[in-house]
Amino acid sequence: MITVRGMYFSGTGTTKKVVSAVAEEIARRAGFAKAEDIDFTPLRARDEIYTFGPEDLVVFGVPVIAGRVPNVLLPFLQTLEGGGAMAVPVVLYGNRNFDDALVELRNILEERGFHTVAAAAFIGEHSFSRKLAAGRPDAKDMEIAAEFAGKVADKVRGSVKTPAFGPVAVDGEDPPRPYYQPRDRKGTPINILKVKPRLDEAKCTGCGICVAACPMGSIHEEAPGVVDGICIKCCGCEKKCPEGALYFDDPGYIYHREELELGYPDRKEPKLFF
C-alpha cells in the first residue's frame, strides 16, 4: 500500500493550500493511504530528520524566492532521506515567474533519493503584495490542482508494482541561474536582503501571532518590534497580524513591490509536468 502525504514550507499558507489539496486528492483517487502532512515552516521542524521509503509518495512544496528554492532551506533539504519514495515537486510563485525553482527542487529531491513522478508550478498571492495575484490560489487554481492530482494518481496507480520513473522534465535552466536581482528602471540593483519589518507599537496587542509565524525564529516574543535574525521577506508576520501592526517602509522594498504590481498584472496560469 502506497502512503501519500504533503510536505511543505509555507509562510503565508498558499503553498500549504495547494500541496495539502493535491496530496489528499491523489490518495482519494488512487485509493492510497493518506498520512498526516509535514509542515517544516517552523524553525524547530527543520531540526528533524525525515526518512521515507518506496511505499511513500510525497507532494513536496516550497515557495519561490528570487526565482529559486529559498536558500535558507538548502541545508535542511540536504538532510532528507528519500529512500526510493515517489515525489511530486511543487512550487508557488507570486505571478512574476518561477524561473529555475522547479528544476532546482526536482534536482534536490532526486539527489536525496526520491523519484520525481510529476511536478507543478502554481501561483499564490505575492508575499510582498495584497494586489499581485490577490487571493490566489483561487477556486480556478484549486480545480486545476484537483485535475493535476487525478493525473498523478492515474500515472502512479498503474506503476506501483514496478515503478520506473526518471526525473520528471520541467521548465527551467539546469544548472539553475543566479538568484533574481530586483533593479530600478535605470538597471541599478535594488538590495533588500537586510530589510526587516517595522512594528506600529500603538496597534500591537502582544498576541504572539507574528512570533509563531516567523519561520526563522527571528521575532522576539517579549518585543515583537525586535527582529534580530534573518528575515526572508515571506511576510507571514505582516499578513497574519490581525491588527496590521507590522509593515515594511524601506524605499527599495516599496519600489520593488510597486514595480512588480505594475509589471505583472496579467493572470498567470499553473504549469503542470508529467
Report the candidate in 221, 219, 224 with the shortest Cα–Cα distance to residue 203: 224
C-alpha grid cell, residue 262: 505594475
A 10 A CB-CB count for 154 gives 14
Domain with CATH 3.30.70.20 in the chain: 198-249
Start and end residues for every CATH 3.40.50.360 domain found in the chain: 3-177
Domain 198-249, CATH among 3.40.140.10, 3.30.70.260, 3.40.50.720, 3.30.70.20: 3.30.70.20
CATH homologous superfamily of 3-177 = Flavodoxin domain (3.40.50.360)
**pTM: predicted TM-score of the whole model, two decimal places:** 0.95
Mean pLDDT, residues 24-50 taken together: 98
pLDDT 10s digits, 115-151: 999 999 999 999 999 999 999 999 999 999 999 999 9
Q: 9-31 as b/e, with b when 16 or more CB fall inside 10 Å? A: bbbbbbbbbbbbbbbbbbbebbe
Question: Where are the strands (E) in 64-214, listed by range?
Answer: 86-93, 115-116, 119-123, 198-199
For 106-120, what is the mean pLDDT?
Answer: 97
pLDDT in tens, 146-194: 999 999 999 998 765 545 577 999 999 999 999 999 998 899 999 999 9
Q: Return d(Cα 227, Cα 259) in angstroms, integer.
A: 26
| CA distances in angstroms from 132 to 9, 97, 246, listed in the order given | 21, 12, 19
Pairwise CA distance, residues 42 & 10, whole Å: 9
By percentage, how much of the chain surpasses pLDDT 70? 98
Q: Say which range, 40-44, 59-63, 141-145, 157-161, has the weakest mean pLDDT.
A: 157-161
Give the CA radius of gyration of the chain: 19
Per-residue pLDDT tens over the stretch 235-265: 999 999 999 999 999 999 999 999 999 999 9
